Structures are given as C-alpha cells and as structure tokens.
Structure 1
Amino acid sequence: MASAARSRVAATPVHLSSPIKPILRKTASVLGTRSRGDNPAGADEDEPPTKRQKKTVVFNEALNMVKEISSKSLEEAKREVKQALEGHARGDDEDYDNLKDLFAPNHRKVAHEEGRGDEGKPQDLIVYVVALSGYAPMLGRSCSGLVRSVLRCSWLERDEPFSRAYTQLLADLSSVQGSALTQVLAMTVDKFTETKTTSSVPGFPPVDPETKKKWLHTGIKYLLDVFPSGSPIMLNLVSSKFPYTEESKTTHMHYLEHLLRLKKSRPELERDIMELILSRLVKLDVEMTLDLENDDDETTRAVLRQLEVEEAKNDEEDDDSDADSVASDDEDDLSEQAKRVLTIKSKLETLDAIMDLMFSIYDPLFEDPDSPDAIEAFKDLLSDFCNVILPHLKSRHTQYLLFKFAMKSNNFMEMFLGTLLNIALPESTQPPVVKQAAVAYLASFTARGAKVESHLVKTIVGTLLDYIDYQRQRKHSTCRGPNVRQYALYYAYFQGLLYIFCFRWRDLLDRESLPPSLDWDDPASFIGHQLPWMDGLKERMRSNIISKLNPLKCCSPVIVDEFARLSHHLKLMYIYPQIEMNKSINLSQFCTTTYATGGALRDTGFEFDNEKWTHLEACFPFDPFQLPLARRWLDLQRNYISWSPMAVLDRDSDSGEDDNEEDDDDSDDEECDEQVPIQEDTATDDGHESG
C-alpha cells in the first residue's frame, strides 16, 4: 500500500542549476554542498543568474494534483530527507531535528530570532512534503517525533497545491503505521476549530474560512476513501471531541457544520452522525430543564426576560443593556445570579439554534409525506427517538421533531403512537423507566396533537383502560395499599388517562348521541348535562379509583384536581370524597416493610417525613415549546392544543355546599353522608400550562 501511495506523486525531471543552500544544517559531512564534479550539469554554475529557472514539482494530474513553483528542487529535498532519516537511525539527530523544525507552525519566526539564515522560503516546504512521502517507509516508530511535527503543520493556511500534497503525505504515513491513521484523523478533527476565521502563514495570501473547510474535507474524504476502516475511527473522534454544553453557540454551530459536511461526503456515517447530534441535543435539553427546575424563581424570571428580548428581536444594544441591568441590580448579592442567568441564557440560545438547524435538515425530507424517502426518513427519526430521546423524560424540546413530522400524515401518527403503545405494554421487555416514559409520551401526544382524530383518542384511552384493569387484577390480591415505587407503571397508565381526559374529553363522547342543543365548539354548553360517554369509561375508571391501589393518592395532585373539577361538572363521576379521604393516608406506611432496615433509605436519600417522592411526577413531554427561534417551524395554531381552562369552572373557589346539592348519579355521592369543603387549586405552571 505504501508503494502504491507513493506512486501517486511523480516528479518531472528538472534541469539542475547551481548549488542551493539546503534548509537543513550546512555541514557537508551529512547533507554537504555539491561540488562541480557531483553536478551532472556543472556548466550551469557559469550561467548568468538571470537565466536560472525556478524548479518545478509536478503532481499526478489524475489525483487533482497541480504544479507548484519552488526555489528548492525535489531531488535536493529528497537527498536531505534521506540523509536526515539515515542519520537519525545512526543516532545523529541534528539534521533530523532540523527537519522536524521545518514543519513547526512558527518555523520561520524561530529561525529568524535565532539568527539562522537557513529558514528558506515558505514555498519550499512543499518539496519536503513530497520528499517525505517518498521516504514514508522509513518513518517507523522511531520517527514518532517527526510524525508529530508533521501533524502540527499549518497546512490549511497555505494554498491548494500544498493541501493536496500534504494530504498525500498523510495517506502515506497512515499506510506505514496502522496507529498513525488514528493520529492523522484526530488532527483533522482538531482542525474543525481552526476554520472559523481568515488566516495565513507568512509568504501566502490569507485563506478564508470556507476555503479552509473545503480543503479540510477534501482531505478527509480522500483519507477515508483510501482507508475505509477509518470511518468508525472518525465517528469515535467526532463524538469524543464534541463541544461541551457550556461552550458557546458559535462553537457548537461551527462544529455541527463540519459534521454535516462529513455526513454529506460519507453516506455510511449519515445515520450515526444524526444520532450523535440528537444525543448531544438531548443532553443539552435535559441540562436546561434541570437548571430551570433547580434554580429559584427569580433566576428563572430573569432568564425569561432575556428570552423575551431575543424573541422581540431587539438589537444588540438592548440585549447588552438588559444583561447589564441584571448584573447591576446589586453587585454583591446578584453577581453570582447574573452569571447564572447569562449561563442559562447562553445554553438556551445554543439549544434554540441547534433545534432550528435540525428542523431545517429534516423539513425538506417530508415535503411529500407519502413518498418512500419520507417514510424511510420518518422510520429513521423514530428509531433515533427510541434510542436517544425516549430514555430521557426530562427532555423538553428535542422530541418536537417527532411531533412536527408525525403531524404530516395519519400514517406517521399511527406509526408513532403504535411504537409508543408497544413499548408501554406490560409485557414489553423494555426497562420500567422506559415504559413509563412511553406512557407519558403517548398521553402527551394524544392530548396535545390537534390532528389526532377522535377515533384514535378513543382507541388509546380504551387501551390504557385495558392496561389498568390488567394490572389491577394482577396486583389486587397482594396489594396492601398505594405504593408508587411498587406499582409505578400502573399509576403511569392511570395518570395518562387523567391527562388525556383533561384535554380531549369531548373526543370521548358518542357524538351522534349528543343532544342537538349542545354546541360542540362551546365546551361550557356541555356542563350539567348527562353525556353519552364511550362504553366502559365511567365504570372501569371508578373500579380502579376505589381499589386498594388507590391511584388518586399517587398521581400528581395537580392533574387529579383538574380531573376532579372536570369530571364533576361534566357528570362523569364525583371523586372529591375519595380525595378528602386520601388526605388521611400516609403513603410511607406501605413502604415500612420493604425498607424496615433503613439501608435503602440511606442509599436513596428518601425520608418518610417528606412524601413528595411517593407521588408520580407530572412530566408530560409535549408541554409548551418555548424556544423563540425554532418555534417558527411549528404550526402551533393548527397542530397544537393549548390548555384552556373553562372560566365557568373557576367561579367557585371550592366545591361548596351548592356542589354537594347537585344531582349526581354516582353511588359514591350517595354513600357520602357528610361533605367537607375542599379547596380546588387551578392548573399551575408546574402542571398544565402546562395542563
């Protein structure tokens, strides 16, 4: 392979002129100056200087190599390189060290400062690059120092002929040493960060960023064409060198541009690169969610103010003045908070920019949702969702890629919902935490997706009812009482039902059996009427509510409260007595047997005097999308159902005596002889809209 690689660069015989001082050391014993007798064209020494011609190095035109004019002949460079390598093998490293210095980025500057006159011309380095390619077999492990120097060369700041010759040298080095390929590819990935600005080396015109990117990826493509085994190495490298979440938006977007260029040139890496980008996007998304949850309200409000400035597209002066106002409110008390605000804002901007980029990548693929390419693209996106997004329930925005494109057709919606149902099955082999995440996605998509038709809503609700009945029948004989840790999946099913009901209760009615006086577009007109609910909804939900599993105790209080208000006013069922009774239940009493030794408590950090951990978290993935730039891709007016509580339900602050006197067919109401007024909380930011 080495000989084949070397054969790609051929030098045209040139006419030798008078001796040219070598760039390496001047001692004649190693690289000595040629005498007249050594010169086969000795008469050239008597030629007038004006007749001396510059030497030409000709590269293989088939490999897009081009001619380069230099004051150093290729034969001379080869001779110097050979003698330096042979001297290094004997233990004489003076010429070898000088050869290493040639490739140093600041070689000419160092040579000038040391008073050496052998720094040569910048254009001369190309002949040494070609010469080294010819002696690549001599660059074994003992020459690792020279290889490192070659890899530090500023090759993107010169010209195109140099970049092509240098790429050939990299290929020759990689063919000699297997480990060198990893070093070479690592160097090319490191160059991702060096293509942001225009730059050059002395003696060459400035090179703009786009040109440097072109040369870099031309070189990467050539190396991976010659060495196909380098593709997985390249994938590992771009993954390990991906910017940290704390780095700037500019750094992230610049790196992503290189990844997309790599994806375009290496189709075999396309799926892996997209999955890599999604995984890092999810990581940033989850960090943002946790940051906002863990910070105090003042910090969150300050971040929102910053976002409002961005959303209003104010100029940079407004942004700066707003940031300064945060930092200058109280230098002593708020300086750390101001830094925290700006850090979170920076992450939000990065997240927003990457989401916007991802939408722009996928959107053209779904112009025709029925095309084979669109179907294949959605399958790939769905696979990435299952592998990357689904296991991280704290993600708030990345999953909207699925939301947007699933809304493109009924086929895509059914594919997405079917995948979630299969994962959420009790018999599924997925880990419990993934099953619970699938239930949350299933409920959230069904509740929020405006294009999810009524028959699909009923199908999903019916399936969830089957799940809770199945789980209740299995667990009933051994159940001591509500225990969210032991029956988490059951409570996830039930909470999903409550959430869907709060948003889509009209879709759970038999529309054909509705009284003609009701206005479908006016939810308030349904209040107080006996409504024709889908078969089994009322009976099956009541059976589970009054069971020993007691789901109302373990589901999120915010969602339970909203369901209680709606179901009462819509005459589905009256559950306030059960909610009141649950106040006297201490959930930790059902965990004392399992954790009697106290060891598990020390491991988990849970405390019995704080029962927050005993309730299922109200986390639904398609809560409102808040990124100002990327939201332009979402047709929220047509595709998204926002939470809109009915004002008529908010007239009373509690259930009150009037509610108790209302006619209700539920047997639970008849059995309750004494009612205690219960404070009804409205939907909060933590729950509903959050819903």
Structure 2
Amino acid sequence: MTTETPLARRLASPSEASTIKPILRKPTPLLGVKRRASDDDDVDSSFQLQSSPTKKRKTVVINENLNMVREISSKSLDEAKKEVRRALEGHARGADGDYDNLKELFAPPRPKSYDDDEESDEDEDEDRAEDLLAYVVALTSLAPLLGKKCSGLVKNVLKCNWLERDDKFARAYIELMAALALVQGSYLALVLGMMVDKFYPVRGQSAAVKGFPPVDAETRKERLHMGLRYMLEKFPDGGKIINDLIERKFPFEDESKTVHLEYIDHLLRLKKDRPELERNIMLTIMKRLVVLDLGMTLDLENDDDATTQAVLKQLNDPHGENGEDESDAESELSDDEDEEEAKRIRNLKSKVQTLDAILDLLFSIYTPVFENPDSPEAIETFHDLLSDFSEAILPSPNSRHTQYLLFKFALKSHQLTSLFTGALFSIASHPSTTLPLKQAAVAYLASFTARGAQVTSEQVQTITKTFLNYMDHYRAVHSGCRGPDVRKYGLYYAYFQGLLYIFCFRWRDLIDRDLVPASLDWDDAASFIGRDLPWMPWLKTRLQANIASKLNPLKCCSPVIVDEFARLSHHLRLIYIYPQIEKNKSIQLSQFFTSSYATGGALRDSGFESDPDKRQLEACFPFDPFQLPVAQRWLDLPNTYMQWKPFAILDREDDEDDDGETGEETETEENGSVQEDTATDDENNFE
C-alpha cells in the first residue's frame, strides 16, 4: 500500500488512515510499521503511544536523564528521518513540495468549510495527532538542517498546540525546542517568546486537540513551566532574554483583571523555579502595578464626581463582584447615561478591580514572610521591597496605593520602621539624588510618620528633630537668600511642609509626657486647648527662626497645610503665625525668580503651577487614605493608620468668630492668645 501527501488523506478510507503515513509524494516504507524489537532497542515499557484501542502500539523511549522522548522504535524513526531529510534537502535545492507538506503538518488545523466531509476530517485529525510525534522526534535529530532558510517551517512548529496533547508529546516537543536553539542561536529568543506568549489565558478556543482528551489549565501550566525550566537550565543566557520578554509582553493596563492575574501567576511560578530571576520578576510586577495605579488615579482626577460615584457604587455592589470581564453585566446605568459615559465607567471600574486584585495578591504573598518581622528572611525581603520602592514607586509621585506594601510591613517592628525611614533619609540627603526624588523621599517620610499609628513617640521626635536640623543647616548655608523661591530652595520647603504635616497629626507625640500635668486626658484633645504645654526642646524657637527667615516657608508651602497648622499651633499655644500669613498676602513670588522662571519657563519640569503667585508646593503626601475595597483587608487600618480627626470644639469656636469678628488680628506672636480668626480651610480639603 502506498500513500500520498497529508492532503490525500482526506480521501483515504478509515482502514487506510489507521496507520502512520509518510509526508512525501514519492511512495516510501510506512512510518511506524510493526516490527519486533531488537536487543539493541532501548525500550521503556512504561511509556506506550496509542492512537486508539484497535491500533498497534508504538514504543516510546524516554531518556531518563532529560526525561524527554528520544525515539519511536528504531525502524519507524529511521523512516521518519529519511522523509524529513528528503524534504529539507529538497527545500535547500529549491524543490519545496515535500517541504511545504512538512510545514502543513505543523500548521494549526484549518477552519472546516461547509463542504468538508466530517468523518474524513476526523480520520485525518486522528492520523495527524499520531503522526506529529514521530516527525517532532525526527526533526529533533535533524535540527542542524533547520537554518535560516527554514524559518517558515520553524514558525509553524512554534505554533503547534503542544500543551494540549499529552505528556509524551510535550516532552518530545520541548527537546525539539532545545535542539533548535542549540543549532541556531536566534531561535532561542523565538522559543522563549512562544512560551511567554502562553502566559496569557486561552481565548476563543478549546484547550483540546482531536485525538487527545481535553487538558485542564493546571496541566497546561505544568507542561509549559517544565519546558521553561529545561530551556533555562540548558541555556543560561536565556535568563537575560526571559527578563526582557516578561517585561515587554506584560499585559497593557486596559487588559482585564483575569489576563493580569493569569500572567502574574505564570511569573510567580517562574520565580519559584528560577530563583535567580526573582528580583527582576518582582520589580517588573511592581513597575506595572504603579502604571495601573497612576492610570487609575489620573482617570479619577479627570472624571467628574458623578462618574466616580458610579464606579464606587458598582465596586460596592456584591452582585457585580465577579463580572468585570462581562461587558453586558458590568453596570446598571440610568436611562440618561449615554454610551460613552457607560464605557468610561466600565473601563475605570476594570482598572480599579485589576489594581485591587494584584495588590491583594502581593499582600498575600508577603504577609507570611513578616509573621516574624525581625527574622533574617523578613529583613532580607524588606530590603528587596525597599529596592523595588526606590526604583518603581518613589519616582512616581502620583501613586496612591502601591506604596502601602511598604507602609504595612515597615510598621511590623521597630527595626523595619527604622530601615524604611533610614532609607528615605539616605535618599533625601544623597548628593547624587535628583531634586524631585529628594522631595518625594521627604514627602514619604512626613506622610509615613504622620499616618503610621505604630510609629512611636520617640521615633516621631527623632524624625522631627532631624527635619529641624536640616532646615537650620540649610538656612545657615543660604544666609544670602533674597526671598522665597521654590525653584532654588525646593528641598528646604519640602522639609518644612513635611514638619507641619507631622505636627497636624502627631502633635501629642511632640509633647514631653513626663512633664504633662495629670489633669490632661490624652484621649481628649479638647483638654489640651489653651494650656501651656511642655513641647520637645527647642521646637518652638526653631520653628520661629525658620518662619521669620528670608526663606519665608509659609509663603511657599501648601496653603491648606499652613492654615491647619496655624489653627492648631495657635490653640495649642505653640506658635502664633497669622500675622506672617497676612503679611505674605502682599508678597509676589515672581519678584524673587530668575527671568526664565518668571515667565513660566521650565515649570513643567518642576511640577509647580504656572501662575507666578501660585508657585507653591503641592499638598501631596503618599499615604493618603487607601481606597481599594478588597486589598484594604490586609492593612488593619484602625490599628495601623492615623485617620484625620478634626477638632470639633475648634470648628465651633471658629464659626463663632466668623460671626462676631472682622478677621483683623490684634494679638502678637508672643502672648499666646487663643483669639480665633478666619484663616482656615475646611478640614475635608486637608484630608
């Protein structure tokens, strides 16, 4: 019996299609003809390849060292090699008939047309499934012939559905991939790229190949990572390629939560198999998490309040918890909401859910490590987090949630808190650090100190003293200052504003408790109002010196923070700054700027507003309230996070002053009067 090309199999009867057929047009001995195994055959009877119960068995031999398929009975493999060699050598001479047939054998199954005979197609698919393993093994032994001229065949081989077959095929296929990379260096990147592409979930197609039972998702993942392990063990340089691939192929921010989590799951499996890739993998995840965070924050800022409220309503809807990928079930919109608005809400909701899910996953990974926060493993992991923070989070000042990984774990012990604050001080003071990063580090220091409920009073005072030391030194160095200039003295203003922010949240911790009268109730802020308090040494005099200097920090810091500090420090009899605030209203910052900045030049780079009288620091502190509904479960916020608690008694007194006073201040800075004025903003703005 003779056979023709795979296309001719459509015409073969079921009995004729039950044996493996060669791909060449010229009649050749049948691949897989039953024969008696010789004594030289290395046979492992535990692996048998069967196409159906009625067909003859083909012996599959496994190389125990590599755990890969090595041959399919010596005679059958010899015939397959002859066919493949003839096709490749013919292609080299320009005769592509057999070569094209070989390419077709590996090409994805073509869509069936209406006229196709279903029974014949099923027979062909079954034969194709059985034949392909033989040719994979044959191609492996002839890989040196697969040069650049065979790129078309290689591309088809890379498209093969190898994860959806069986373990024997997967092992044989992996060894073919290794052989390709060995003989042609450029193929290594193609092979690894093909594998990384499979980190994405299967879309629009069944995870099954005719002739094989369906394969579940977990089995496909195990086979894929078996291949990655083997390739990276065999080719050490593959680690560099993988590092580039996983970053380049990471899902875009508009991809669904399902796609992101599937991709990250593969990265975590890869990290477990190849520990040397761990740092790059976790940094890649952190970088892309920040991108999601920034995108979500920007969208929330750009959308109106109605859109934001619609998103929050859907996120809090328990019936829509798992519907983020179903466009017809993502939202219930009122009749007057148009299609564009509905799409914007769905997209924003999807981004929030994706960010929330990834951050929740990272919390679940890191939390067990910090059960013993001072263990060597925890310390080493925290150093890794600090490294990722410095490279991915700190340069992104508008990130809102990713940094809470540091917040949570830095509060686990005194040692970790010191590591975090020490790293921030180091960044802020290092000569090679850029000004924006220094200012960001100071903002993180202030925000962490203010918001971290587990930051001790001693640590709060130490950080406050360090801020004051820097400001005093800066004033001494810049004694020739003409006046306030955010561009020239931006880091100084960042420290001063950070100190005001710390005071607003942690003023109790700046009081010497050993000298406090027993009549004061630490849980009742009102009991401190109007009392002369024993503040930490030199706090008052050093603040006064900075405020009265030509640097004039009250003019350059955020008015919201300045006003809240003014109100609190006045009622707590620390310092009275309203006269300076009033005086600053007549000062124009532009008169102290150089000409290029006075006309708005280069302001985009500094992040300040273009209006000459609004060139002030933004009230941007990284640990503002956490808003993701799922991941917040890890933060234990009531015990770890300092919420802003406005003084109700001060609000009432301020309202009374608004009704009865003209706003003209008559008291001096030194007399400590508790007379109220109107220079405050609403507490919600401060929050």
Normalized against structure 1, the TM-score is what? 0.86
AA at the equivalent of 1:560: V
Deviation at 1:213, TM superposition (A): 0.5
Q: Are 1:297 and 2:314 matched, yes or no?
A: no
Per-residue displacement from partner, 1:551-583 (whole Å, max 9, x unpaired)?
Answer: 111111111111011001001111111112222
Rate the CA distance shift 1:485–1:668 in 2: closer, same or farther, 3 A: farther
Per-residue displacement from partner, 1:422-468 (whole Å, max 9, x unpaired)?
Answer: 2122x532110010011001001111111111111111111101111
Residue in structure 1 matching 2:346, options 325, 332, 342: 342
Per-residue displacement from partner, 1:20-40 (whole Å, max 9, x unpaired)?
Answer: 7744232x2xxx3359xx999
AA at the equivalent of 1:33: T
- More displaced stretch, 93-102 vs 656-665: 656-665
Q: Are 1:555 and 2:553 matched, yes or no?
A: no
d(CA) in 2 for partners of 1:307, 1:40: 66
Which residue does the alignment assign to 2:454?
Answer: 451
Q: Are 1:227 and 2:235 matched, yes or no?
A: yes
d(CA) in 1 for partners of 2:54, 2:510: 96
Secondary structure in 1 matching 2:342: helix
- More displaced stretch, 373-382 vs 497-506: 373-382
Which residue does the alignment assign to 1:618?
Answer: 619
AA at the equivalent of 1:59: I
Per-residue displacement from partner, 1:491-527 (whole Å, max 9, x unpaired)?
Answer: 1000000000000101111111112211112111000
Secondary structure in 1 matching 2:551: coil
Which residue does the alignment assign to 2:28?
Answer: 33
d(CA) in 1 for partners of 2:156, 2:208: 19
Residues 570 and 576 of structure 2 are in contact (CA less than 8 Å); yes or no, is this contact kept in structure 1?
yes
d(CA) in 2 for partners of 1:39, 1:367: 62
Q: Are 1:187 and 2:201 matched, yes or no?
A: no
Residue in structure 2 matching 1:142, options 125, 131, 149: 149
Q: How many residue pairs are counted as aligned between the two chains?
A: 645
Rate the CA distance shift 1:314–1:382 in 2: closer, same or farther, 3 A: closer
Which residue does the alignment assign to 2:412?
Answer: 408
> Where do 5+ consecutive residues of structure 1 fail to align?
1-16, 42-49
Residues 413 and 452 of structure 1 are in contact (CA less than 8 Å); yes or no, is this contact kept in structure 2?
yes
d(CA) in 2 for partners of 1:352, 1:598: 39
- More displaced stretch, 628-637 vs 240-249: 628-637
Secondary structure in 2 matching 1:403: helix
Secondary structure in 2 matching 1:59: strand
Residues 72 and 134 of structure 2 are in contact (CA less than 8 Å); yes or no, is this contact kept in structure 1?
no
Which residue does the alignment assign to 2:684?
Answer: 684
Residues 22 and 118 of structure 1 are in contact (CA less than 8 Å); yes or no, is this contact kept in structure 2?
no
Rate the CA distance shift 1:433–1:532 in 2: closer, same or farther, 3 A: same
Rate the CA distance shift 1:660–1:532 in 2: closer, same or farther, 3 A: farther
Deviation at 1:330, TM superposition (A): 1.5
Which residue does the alignment assign to 2:251?
Answer: 243
Which residue does the alignment assign to 1:96?
Answer: 99
d(CA) in 1 for partners of 2:329, 2:164: 40
Rate the CA distance shift 1:549–1:669 in 2: closer, same or farther, 3 A: farther
Deviation at 1:298, TM superposition (A): 2.3
Deviation at 1:123, TM superposition (A): 1.3
AA at the equivalent of 2:546: N
d(CA) in 2 for partners of 1:413, 1:52: 69
Which residue does the alignment assign to 2:44?
Answer: none
Which residue does the alignment assign to 2:7?
Answer: none
Residue in structure 2 matching 1:369, options 366, 373, 379: 373
Q: Equivalences for 1:202-217 in 2 at 5 Å?
A: 202-217=210-225
Q: Equivalences for 1:374-523 in 2 at 5 Å?
A: 374-425=378-429, 428-477=431-480, 479-523=481-525
Normalized against structure 2, the TM-score is what? 0.86
Residue in structure 1 matching 2:260, options 248, 252, 266: 252
Which residue does the alignment assign to 1:24?
Answer: 23
Deviation at 1:336, TM superposition (A): 2.1
Residues 653 and 679 of structure 1 are in contact (CA less than 8 Å); yes or no, is this contact kept in structure 2?
no
Which residue does the alignment assign to 1:581?
Answer: 583
Per-residue displacement from partner, 1:234-255 (whole Å, max 9, x unpaired)?
Answer: 1110110000001100000010
Rate the CA distance shift 1:108–1:652 in 2: closer, same or farther, 3 A: closer
Rate the CA distance shift 1:364–1:444 in 2: closer, same or farther, 3 A: same
d(CA) in 2 for partners of 1:157, 1:519: 70
Which residue does the alignment assign to 1:638?
Answer: 639
Deviation at 1:73, TM superposition (A): 2.7
Secondary structure in 1 matching 2:59: strand
AA at the equivalent of 1:518: L
AA at the equivalent of 1:188: M
> Where do 5+ consecutive residues of structure 2 fail to align?
1-15, 37-52
Residue in structure 1 matching 2:281, options 273, 287, 290: 273
Which residue does the alignment assign to 2:10?
Answer: none
d(CA) in 2 for partners of 1:171, 1:321: 45
Deviation at 1:75, TM superposition (A): 2.4
Deviation at 1:531, TM superposition (A): 0.9
Secondary structure in 1 matching 2:503: helix
Which residue does the alignment assign to 1:652?
Answer: 653
Secondary structure in 2 matching 1:465: helix
Per-residue displacement from partner, 1:561-606 (whole Å, max 9, x unpaired)?
Answer: 1101100100111111111222222222323534467765799998
